[in-house]
Amino acid sequence: MEDTICAISTAKGVGAISIIRISGKDAFKIINKIYKGKDLNKVESNTINYGYIYDKDELIDEVLVSILKSPKTYTMEDIVEINSHGGINTTNRILELVLENGARLAEPGEFTKRAFLNGRIDLTKAEAVNDLINAKSDLARKVALNNIKGNLYNKIKSLRNSIGELMANIEVNIDYPEYEDIEVITNEILKPKLNKIKEEIKIILNNTKNAKLINNGINVALIGRPNTGKSSILNKFLDEEKAIVTNIPGTTRDIVEGSITLDGFEINFIDTAGIRETSDVVEKIGVEKSKQATKDADIVIVVLNNNEKLTKEDEELINLVPENKRIIFVNKNDLENKLELKDEYVLGNTIDYSGIDNLKNAIKDKLNLDNIMVSDMTYMSNIREIDLLKKALNNIQSAITNLNSMPIDMLEIDISNAWNNLGEIIGEVYQDELLDILFSNFCVGK
């Protein structure tokens, strides 16, 4: 924390501009060694200043330098941002100059880590910054921004305060039983309060499924026997010739993937090899990959031929997929109907692509996408937070279960553990090793 750190904050490669960020107590001292223009010691905070970067007498670049004085900065330290011309050589040369004059290269996420350690943001906001950078859809961006605003923090903080008040009352009852003006915590008083906390935690956890769909996208696998039109359906969804289409069975031998955005959700389509009994070694591997993709997918579209009777292999494929994630698409409705099917299905073809819009709507209905509450957008979206919230729920449930068999001072152990779990989510309780792991997933320069 005593070091002054620096990094390139823009994407590597050729571009109009690059930004080299410097943060720490020597940020202004370092820039003054390599900058010629206004006296940066005399400029106001939050100003952009025109000048040049020099290596001794050699002109390196024409730049704009942003001066941001602590504590009202991203890291709450003095920050300098050098806006140079884009390009690998120029950007690296300026970075080398900054390093030569006293800065250290920042570790991944170190700017955001300092923002947390200096008390400007909590851990949920820090993780939301990374979510925002990696957002793959507009909905994912909105969720991340909501958490940067502090909505998730406020919910967790409120839960923690409720648990903290219970703990305080229990402690007072134990240590100062003579105080008559303090509420005596009995099982009858404790149970409804614990149940309320439990239900609030469960509501947040129930929303984690929505967060997964928003942040990671929805995996949709297309399965079926060879030559049912899976690759043609994929190509239509993606609006490009992603998969090779022929009338030769077994053309698709490996997984072919592509993504689209549907009502703000990223949909990852997976075209699989036709599932059938085969002696071809390569095709066998493709079939096994198809079965694994079926297990991993959120939605599985089973493609059948309208002009063929239902086969034993078709029935096995239908039964392979649980009903709650299965959609049946009956292809080739432009041909004579020979298929008899009791299950619900979507009808269409890959000639004029009738039924494709209905197939999209079936995906939305199966996942209930229209009813995801995007107005609130306060979702817990990473494994660390979800795991800690589940631990808190288990501790609260343990306290409720043991209400009638243990004294209240023993129940406080479970209640205290839940309080600590919530503290770890927002960073009021943390270990240095955890922070190192968490911020190592960030890009350098953020």
Domains detected in the chain: 5-106 (3.30.1360.120), 138-207+378-439 (1.20.120.430), 214-370 (3.40.50.300)
- The span from the CA of 53 to the CA of 350, in Å, is 60
pTM of the model: 0.67
Residues in the chain where the model's pLDDT stays below 50: 242-254
pLDDT (0 to 100) of residue 164: 87
pLDDT (0 to 100) of residue 252: 45
pLDDT (0 to 100) of residue 173: 66
pLDDT (0 to 100) of residue 318: 85
- The span from the CA of 287 to the CA of 329, in Å, is 20
Q: What is the pLDDT of residues 158-172, one digit of tens each?
A: 999 999 888 887 776
pLDDT (0 to 100) of residue 79: 96
